[in-house]
Amino acid sequence: MTERDEKRAVVNDAERDPGRAFDQRMSAYLREMRQSTMHRRGFLRLSAGSAGAAALLAALGGSAEAATRRFAPGLWVLQQDATTVTYGLEGDVRGLEPALSYDFTANPVVCQISEGLLMFDSKGALQPLLAEKWTHPDPLTYTYTLRDGVTFSDGSPVTIDDVIASIARVRDPDVAGPLAWMYDTPGAEVSKTDDKTITIKLKTASALFQYVVATTAGHVIPQAAIEKYGADLLRNPIGTGPFKFVKWDAGSEIDLEKNPTYWQQGKPAFEKMTFKIVTEGTTRVTGLKTGELEMATQIPPDQIAIVKAFDNVDLQIVTGYTINGIALRNDKPPFDDLKVRQAVNYAIDLESIMTNIVKDEGIQAHNTTVPPEMPGSASAELKPIPFDLDKAKQLMAESSQPNGFKTKLSVIAPNDIWVPQALAIQQALKALNIDVEIDQLTYADMITLQQAGDYEGMMLFQWGSDFPDAAGNLIPLFLSKNIPPQNNHAYFKNDQVDQLLDQSEAELDVEKRRQMLIDAQKIISDQQPWIFLEHYNWFMPMSKSLTGYKLTALWYWDCFGRDLKPASA
Amino acid sequence: MARLIVTRLLTLIPMMFLITTVVFFLVHLIPGDPARLMVGGAHITPANLENIRKAYRLDRPLPEQYGLWVSDLLHGNLGKSYRQRTDVRTLILDRLPITMKLSVFSFIISLAIAVPLGIISAARRNSWLDVGATIFALLGASSPVFFTAILLILIFSFRLQWLPSIGAGDGGWDEFVHLLLPSLTLGISLAAITTRITRSAMVEALTQDYIETARAKGLASRSIVLKHALRNALVPIVTVAGLQFGFLIVGAVLVEQTFGLGGLGSLLIQAVQVRDYPVVQGATIFIAALFILINLGVDVLYGVIDPRVRYGGRA
């Protein structure tokens, strides 16, 4: 019997007769106390007294081993039930229905409870899930065929009407959910083809639409639950996932338990999942060390090294489908001049910024917004702009601004990486006689500024795609029709890029489409609309007591609970 | 006594009106578009944005929003959270128990530390114990709550692994163990000032003539300190401790945040971060009302302990 089985047996034993287990612990504890008084008179003196109190604490704390090792009592107070996975969230969830799940706190919970028509594998490729097959016969049409024999956790079968109702829920104007754009932007129309199949027709071609049903926007929930709960659905989630919802203690904890009718045989391996809401980063890190938490997200950057050194935790790292960079206002002087944009790029020592500021937090961008591991990236063919001050000065002299200028750099503060980067860039550009004023904004102010689009000069911001496809980091950021209030913050406009990106949306040939996206990246890199900085890494510390899940770049759509196993099993 | 309570309750009305007005306009002065923050900023269709503005009255002028909010408030309706889309009243009531438990527990701990420490300091003035208590009070009062919290977590959870630092546990004993560290954090901060007050009050009481008389009568020192001096020193202690109970609710905001306790405090902080106006307004007003009521309770208690207060009002 493994250690885990032993613990489970003890748990079961205690469940059958909690009183007896308690009595056993108490008598063992009292026996210990008697023994210790025999050779240590006055054991209630301060030191022994505290050990005794600690032993009492441990004895009452809920473990059968407690009474035998009383000098480190916390080990039992802190130890988790071996059949439960405990995950630390950095904030409370806004709700637990898929239509509202579009952030890093709700998604890890919701993705264990409900499932999409498709899913992403570890490389970001689409795989069947509730839909056993799907087709994309022309640029505007997608069909999905439902798998047989899948039931929700209440035992009712999944029907095609549930699928249609679930999609309608995501788009419902009364719900006003954050995922509605995924269907609304391409103008999707959903219809029932037969009892097993739906057809989705788009008004405008969208290659990225293929990924939508693998996100929470494609999760299937029972139509009956939508009708029954209405606005309260966010507190009563239900789906086909490996775990089912038990309770949500607002602000502190969310409990799930194994879905006994889960359609994938033999899964999940754990009986329960507990999500603890721990807003303070240091406390999450402490929880990992003590074993109170077995997984967690959003580790504070200055504590990554500490977590790495924990002997009971593996720190998984993967580069996200993200880009951190500075958009330059390509539509207005001084940055409407290509030479100025080039000069600025040559004047910045990106390598030094990486080593001194970014460190483990990300990898250097190769003059594109698409990270190397993201399908369709041109990173292999493009190179970061080297630091060359002479060339920068020469370009500046030839430009429309030979005497330098004053400009502004907007950045979200406080931030351990963005603000130092902004300061480094401010310093570097002094060599070109460019006087950069740094405008530090709160997150909310930055969103407002981006929406208004009236920033001056330069804006440092982060973008991440929801989909494993280069287009996700190109179309929103560089297509000319996506200028603010959309996300083309550089006001970039290039006819060739527009044409390539538009064509790529309707291209069914995967290889041809990939080439179009690579070509678009090459043109963009020549135009230098941004200062491309780095692609951020995701970190997931996972206790060594767990195995079976590997962090992916799209972890927030992952149902990790399906595959997690105890390491000793 | 009844008159005191009624007068104090009546002053509540203008005070609450002032608070609601200040809170509403202060909250709306914070820049940031809540509709946009509600959906996460990056992607949204204009129609979608419009739906949200309408649903949450964000499309109306500010004075109109204020009028509607106050009229809802008078009907006991605190509005709906933008982010969690649930009644603010439900959110507050859900989270109230843990904040109350934390406050009461911390309060008990602070008294358990402060009163004995203060008495000993006063009885053994200028001894090493007194100096120790002074240093404790100085450190406790100057260290911000969140710093004390992290320090205690590092010692008791991280290093020694004795006590849990996350969440409120599963009720009963588990909950007690989980609340120990957070309550100790708050308790230490509170105890600092109460220790000093207890000490001063006791020192003063111990130098009174009746103490001399008691000594002259040959009473045991213990009995003099605990029976005669303490009873007379109690009035300032209760006043300060009572006032502190009000501040406790505020301190709880930071402690809850640090220990992952889902109380009123963490609700408020998260709401501020995402511009969840109804929650910020609702929680602030709730806390303000609680603060006023607790102070009223302290005033009443003060009268119970010291009869001079009861009759002084009529003189």
Instruction: Check: CB of residue A260 under 8 Å from CB of residue A271.
Output: no
Count other C-beta atoms under 10 Å from residue B100's C-beta. Answer: 15
Q: What whole-number distance in Å separates Cα of residue A84 and Cα of residue A566?
A: 10
Angle at B209 between CA B205 and CA B214, to 5 degrees: 90
The tokens for A374 are 């993201």
Instruction: Check: CB of residue A382 under 8 Å from CB of residue A367.
Output: yes
Q: Do you find a cis peptide bond into A414, omega within 30 degrees of 0?
A: yes
Banded model confidence at residue A10, pLDDT cuts 50, 70, 90? very low
User: What are the structural domains of chain B?
Assistant: 2-74 (no CATH), 90-311 (1.10.3720.10)
Complex ipTM, two decimals?
0.77
CB atoms A173 and B48 under 8 Å: yes
Give the HSE-up count for residue A542: Cα atoms under 13 Å, Cβ half-sphere. 19
Checking if the pLDDT of A73 tops 60, the result is no
pLDDT given at position A6: 42
Count other C-beta atoms under 10 Å from residue A10's C-beta. Answer: 16
CB atoms B51 and A445 under 8 Å: no
Proportion of chain A above pLDDT 70, given as a percent: 86
DSSP secondary structure string for all residues of A350-401: HHHHIIIIIGGGEEE--SSSS-TTSTT--TTT--PPPP-HHHHHHHHHHSS-
Checking if the pLDDT of A7 tops 50, the result is no
Homologous superfamily in CATH for domain A118-234: Dipeptide-binding Protein; Domain 1 (3.90.76.10)
Measured in angstroms, the CA of B193 and the nearest CA of chain A are apart by 26
pLDDT given at position A82: 83
Closest C-alpha to A85, from A291, A313, A249: A291
Residue B295: which residues within 8 A CB-CB, separation 6 or more?
Answer: B242, B243, B246
What 8-state DSSP symbol labels residue A82? T
pLDDT given at position A2: 43
Checking if the pLDDT of A156 tops 80, the result is yes
Kindly state the average pLDDT of the residues A140-153. 96
pLDDT given at position B285: 87
DSSP secondary structure string for all residues of chain B: -HHHHHHHHHHHHHHHHHHHHHHHHHHHHS-S-HHHHHTTSS---HHHHHHHHHHTTTTS-HHHHHHHHHHHHHTT---B-TTT-SBHHHHHHHHHHHHHHHHHHHHHHHHHHHHHHHHHHHHTTTSHHHHHHHHHHHHHHHS-HHHHHHHHIIIIIIIS--S--SS-TTSHHHHHHHHHHHHHHHHHHHHHHHHHHHHHHHHHHHTSHHHHHHHHTT--HHHIIIIIIHHHHHHHHHHHHHHHHHHHHHHHHHHHHHHT--SHHHHHHHHHHTT-HHHHHHHHHHHHHHHHHHHHHHHHHHHHH-HHHHHHTT-
Burial class (CB in 10 A: 0-12, 13-18, 19+), A404: middle
Set of chain A residues whose Cβ sits within 8 Å of the Cβ of B274: 444
Instruction: Check: CB of residue A529 under 8 Å from CB of residue A330.
Output: yes
Banded model confidence at residue A569, pLDDT cuts 50, 70, 90? low
β A295-296/A84-89 pair status: parallel
Strands (E), A147-252: 189-192, 197-201, 243-249
Residues in chain A: 569
pLDDT given at position B1: 67
CATH assignment, A322-537: 3.10.105.10
Kindly state the average pLDDT of the residues A542-556. 94
In this complex, is the C-beta atom of B163 within 8 Å of any C-beta atom belonging to chain A? yes
Instruction: Check: CB of residue B105 under 8 Å from CB of residue A254.
Output: no
Measured in angstroms, the CA of A16 and the nearest CA of chain B are apart by 19
Q: What whole-number distance in Å separates Cα of residue A93 and Cα of residue B91?
A: 13
For residue A208, the SS3 value is helix
In chain B, whose CA is at the least distance from the CA of A59? Answer: B173
In chain A, whose CA is at the least distance from the CA of B33? Answer: A448
For residue A179, the SS3 value is coil
Tens digits of per-residue pLDDT, B256-285? 888 888 888 888 888 887 778 889 889 888
Set of chain B residues whose Cβ sits within 8 Å of the Cβ of A278: 166-167, 260
Checking if the pLDDT of A55 tops 50, the result is no
Average pLDDT, chain A: 86
Tens digits of per-residue pLDDT, A360-388? 899 999 999 999 999 999 999 999 999 99
Of A429 and B162, more confident = A429
CB atoms A178 and B36 under 8 Å: no
In chain A, whose CA is at the least distance from the CA of B272? Answer: A444
pLDDT given at position A22: 43
Kindly state the average pLDDT of the residues A281-298. 90
pLDDT given at position A38: 37
For residue A74, the SS3 value is helix
Checking if the pLDDT of A80 tops 70, the result is no
What 8-state DSSP symbol labels residue A445? H
User: CA-CA-CA-CA torsion for A20, A21, A24, A28, nearest 10 degrees?
Assistant: -160
Taking one residue from A and the other from B, the number of pairs with CB-CB distance under 8 angstroms is: 184
Proportion of chain B above pLDDT 70, given as a percent: 93
Q: Which of residues 186-225 of B touch A (CB under 8 A)?
A: none
pLDDT given at position A12: 42
Q: Specify whether the backbone of B32 is left (phi greater than 0), alpha (psi in -120 to 50) or beta.
A: left
Q: Specify whether the backbone of A324 is left (phi greater than 0), alpha (psi in -120 to 50) or beta.
A: beta
pLDDT given at position A543: 94
Q: Which of residues 135-154 of B touch A (CB under 8 A)?
A: 150, 153-154
Single-letter code of the amino acid located at A309: A
Set of chain B residues whose Cβ sits within 8 Å of the Cβ of A178: 38-40, 43-44
In chain A, whose CA is at the least distance from the CA of B255? Answer: A280
Homologous superfamily in CATH for domain A3-95+241-318+539-566: Periplasmic binding protein-like II (3.40.190.10)
pLDDT given at position A335: 97
CA distances from A358 to A328, A374, A536 (A): 21, 20, 9
Of B55 and A460, more confident = A460
CB atoms A74 and B157 under 8 Å: yes
Kindly state the average pLDDT of the residues B150-157. 88
| B32 vs A283, A289, A444: nearest CB | A444
Proportion of chain A above pLDDT 90, given as a percent: 71
Q: Which of A494-498, B67-71, B234-238 has the highest mean pLDDT?
A: A494-498
pLDDT given at position B214: 83
In chain B, whose CA is at the least distance from the CA of A79? Answer: B164
For residue A417, the SS3 value is coil
What 8-state DSSP symbol labels residue A348? S
Checking if the pLDDT of A44 tops 60, the result is no
pLDDT given at position B77: 85
Banded model confidence at residue B215, pLDDT cuts 50, 70, 90? confident
Q: What whole-number distance in Å separates Cα of residue A471 and Cα of residue B148?
A: 48
pLDDT given at position B43: 66
Set of chain A residues whose Cβ sits within 8 Å of the Cβ of B272: none
In this complex, is the C-beta atom of B101 within 8 Å of any C-beta atom belonging to chain A? no
CB atoms B161 and A78 under 8 Å: yes
Could you tell me the pTM of the whole model?
0.81
In this complex, is the C-beta atom of B96 within 8 Å of any C-beta atom belonging to chain A? no
Instruction: Check: CB of residue A222 under 8 Å from CB of residue A238.
Output: yes
pLDDT given at position A56: 37
Checking if the pLDDT of A526 tops 80, the result is yes
Radius of gyration for the alpha carbons in chain A, expressed in angstroms and rounded:
28
For residue A546, the SS3 value is strand
For residue A290, the SS3 value is helix
| A444 vs B31, B166, B259: nearest CB | B31
CA dihedral over A478, A481, A485, A486, signed as positive or negative: negative
Instruction: Check: CB of residue A492 under 8 Å from CB of residue A325.
Output: no
In chain B, whose CA is at the least distance from the CA of A489? Answer: B42
Of A114 and A102, more confident = A114
- Domains of chain A, by residue range, sit at 3-95+241-318+539-566, 118-234, 322-537
Q: Specify whether the backbone of A548 is left (phi greater than 0), alpha (psi in -120 to 50) or beta.
A: left
Instruction: Check: CB of residue B88 under 8 Å from CB of residue B81.
Output: yes
pLDDT given at position A28: 52
Kindly state the average pLDDT of the residues B6-29. 84
Kindly state the average pLDDT of the residues B194-208. 86
Q: Which of residues 52-91 of B touch A (CB under 8 A)?
A: 52, 55, 83-86, 91
For residue A80, the SS3 value is coil
Checking if the pLDDT of B120 tops 70, the result is yes
Look at the block and give the residue holding tokens 């530090």: A440
For residue A52, the SS3 value is helix
Checking if the pLDDT of A30 tops 80, the result is no
| A180 vs B48, B91, B261: nearest CB | B48
Closest C-alpha to A292, from B266, B20, B130, B166: B166
pLDDT given at position B56: 77
In this complex, is the C-beta atom of B261 within 8 Å of any C-beta atom belonging to chain A? yes
Q: What whole-number distance in Å separates Cα of residue A343 and Cα of residue A435?
A: 14
Kindly state the average pLDDT of the residues B89-108. 89
Q: What whole-number distance in Å separates Cα of residue A72 and Cα of residue A57?
A: 10
The tokens for B186 are 């708050």
Q: What whole-number distance in Å separates Cα of residue B191 and Cα of residue B134?
A: 11
Instruction: Check: CB of residue A48 under 8 Å from CB of residue A29.
Output: no
In this complex, is the C-beta atom of B39 within 8 Å of any C-beta atom belonging to chain A? yes
Look at the block and give the residue holding tokens 């009183």: A19
Radius of gyration for the alpha carbons in chain B, expressed in angstroms and rounded:
24
In chain B, whose CA is at the least distance from the CA of A74? Answer: B162
Of A50 and A264, more confident = A264
Banded model confidence at residue A54, pLDDT cuts 50, 70, 90? very low
Angle at A521 between CA A515 and CA A525, to 5 degrees: 150
Count other C-beta atoms under 10 Å from residue A558's C-beta. Answer: 20
Q: What whole-number distance in Å separates Cα of residue A422 and Cα of residue A427?
A: 9
Give the HSE-up count for residue A248: Cα atoms under 13 Å, Cβ half-sphere. 21
Helix axes B264-273, B277-305, angle to 10 degrees: 150
Q: Specify whether the backbone of B161 is left (phi greater than 0), alpha (psi in -120 to 50) or beta.
A: left
